[in-house]
Amino acid sequence: MFWHIGVTDVLALGIYLLNHGEIGKAFGVDYSTVSQNRRRLGLRLREDCNLLESFKRVSEKLINLSNQ
Q: What is the pLDDT at residue 30?
A: 87
Range of the domain at 26: 7-66
In a domain, 1, yes or no: no
In a domain, 14, yes or no: yes
Q: What is the pLDDT at residue 43?
A: 92
Q: What is the pLDDT at residue 25?
A: 85
In a domain, 2, yes or no: no
pLDDT by residue for the chain (68 residues), tens digit each?
A: 444 556 566 666 666 677 778 878 887 888 888 888 888 888 988 999 998 888 888 877 777 776 77
pTM (predicted TM-score): 0.60
Distances (CA, A) of 61 to 1, 19, 50, 57, 65: 12, 19, 17, 6, 6
In a domain, 44, yes or no: yes
Number of structural domains (the chain) is 1
Q: What is the pLDDT at residue 11?
A: 64
